[in-house]
Amino acid sequence: MKTIRIPVAMTLLLFVAACVTINVYFPAEAAQKAADRIIMDVYGEQPGNTAVPLEPQSRLHHNEMSFPVHALLNWFISPAHAEADISVNTPAIQQLQASMEKRHKQLAPYYKSGAIGMTLNGEVTLRDQKLVPLQDRNTIKSLISKENDDRSALYREIARANGHPEWESEIRAIFAKRWISNAPAGWWYKNTQGAWVQK
């Protein structure tokens, strides 16, 4: 009897444990879409998906003749897309994105020349400083340092904005892939073996 009772008890316990375990799955697909949107904006390309216009949900009941007069207000409500799986619409994220968009104009020629390359961890690095004139090397290093600070903050803020700070590394991993996928041909990136590859 005993030998049977123990497995039964264990099974029950497992059941109970299973009941209290809440699995929150990382919405990879939504994160990828969000990443693509940000990356395309930073790269300065114009994809077709411009922001969905916010249509006021007008509910105007105005009757001039009625008394007392009601001035009716119709504050409009944001359409349902505000409830997307991954939200990237916070002041911090917008500010970081704007800062990266601005910096990208300075970085772009160095991506193209191969002086800067994209790493596996969603950052950029000085790949070959010989391609940068001597007097510009420290400027580039400063830009790279700022870009990486912004990127790290971006991944952290996206995770935070969605109420899951622990998603930061997954968001970083998605971005790492998407920075490379969305980059134009000719730019350099590190492959999984750690070798530089030209796209």
The site for other proteins (CB under 8 A) is made up of: 54, 56-60, 62, 64, 67-78, 82, 87, 89-92, 94-96, 128-130, 132, 134-135, 137-138, 141-142, 145-146, 149-150, 153, 157
Closest to other proteins by CB, 139 vs 181, is 139
The minimum distance between CB 191 and other proteins, in angstroms, equals 21
What is the phi/psi pair of residue 197, to 5°?
A: -130, 140
Instruction: Calculate the alpha carbon distances from 7 to 1, 97, 131, 184 in Å.
Output: 11, 55, 67, 59
Beta bridge partners of 196: 190
Closest to other proteins by CB, 7 vs 91, is 91
3 state SS of 35 = helix
The first and second tokens of residue 139, run together, are: 């400027």
Instruction: Calculate the alpha carbon distances from 189 to 1, 2, 192 in Å.
Output: 63, 61, 10
Closest to other proteins by CB, 11 vs 139, is 139
The minimum distance between CB 33 and other proteins, in angstroms, equals 18
- Residues with Cβ < 8 Å from 39, sequence gap 6 or more? 175, 178, 179, 182
Closest to other proteins by CB, 48 vs 91, is 91
The minimum distance between CB 101 and other proteins, in angstroms, equals 15
The minimum distance between CB 58 and other proteins, in angstroms, equals 5
